[in-house]
Amino acid sequence: MADEGKRSFLDLHCHSSASFDSVASPDRLMAKAVRIGLTHLAVTDHERIDGALRARDRAPHGLTVIVGEEIRSADGDMIGLYLERAVPPGLSAADTAAAIHEQGGLVGLPHPFDRFRSSGGTQAADQQRTLDALAAVVDYVEIHNARAYRDANPLATAFAESRGLELGVAQTVVPGLVDGSAALLALLPAATIIQGRASYLVRGWTPMAKVLQRSRGNRRIVAGMPGSTGAAVLP
């Protein structure tokens, strides 16, 4: 699982052009990952995995693509890593986590206190039972998100530490070789978190990307709509 002296460099949260909010092709994402020295790239498009599957099949030597998905559950956004099937949106946090774990995957809680996104912590800010329910079903918490504002990241760190949860972030270095979900979970306690901030230019581009994707017919998949299984084919 982990070789002494070896390290893995991971990005555990990114979106490709399969997602409604990004125009970066899987090939572009992988080229950048190789350029900055990543060994693992988790493609976590919203409510679909076709972009991640395409990237995994085309990954260059030395780069492992982890098939993931960012899912809008009834209790807020969640991430599934190491998936083979897309998890539909709209399920409870517990049912979403169960669907991920059934595939041998890991459950992450992204940007839990970002007030500008559908984050579980903000939705449950005054509902301790909901926060406890989220803590009971996730494997790790994203404690630093480059686009999160104000106190969102410190609150996420405090939440994870108070519940004894593993810490994760988009840029993560772990002291060992990651060859699957069990290895990643075992190595996360020793992870080094590389913090960064998205520029205002990057943040401003996201709404534009959504408009462009909408004009192409790529809208967010929501519960009950055709394609809500995330099985649509990437153009």
Assign 199 a pLDDT band (cuts: 50, 70, 90): very low
Residues 68-118 pLDDT 10s: 999 999 888 899 999 999 999 999 989 999 999 999 999 998 867 666 555
Residues 33-51 pLDDT 10s: 999 999 999 999 999 999 9
CATH topology of domain 8-202: TIM Barrel (3.20.20)
Report, as an integer, the average pLDDT of 38-65. 96
Least confident of 68-82, 172-186, 212-226: 212-226
Q: What pLDDT, on the 0 to 100 scale, is given for residue 207? A: 64
CA 209 to chain centre: 19
Given a cut of 90, is residue 219 above it in pLDDT?
Answer: no
Nearest to 191 by CA among 169, 179, 174: 174
Given a cut of 80, is residue 65 above it in pLDDT?
Answer: yes
Q: What pLDDT, on the 0 to 100 scale, is given for residue 136? A: 83
Report, as an integer, the average pLDDT of 164-172. 65
Q: What pLDDT, on the 0 to 100 scale, is given for residue 112? A: 73
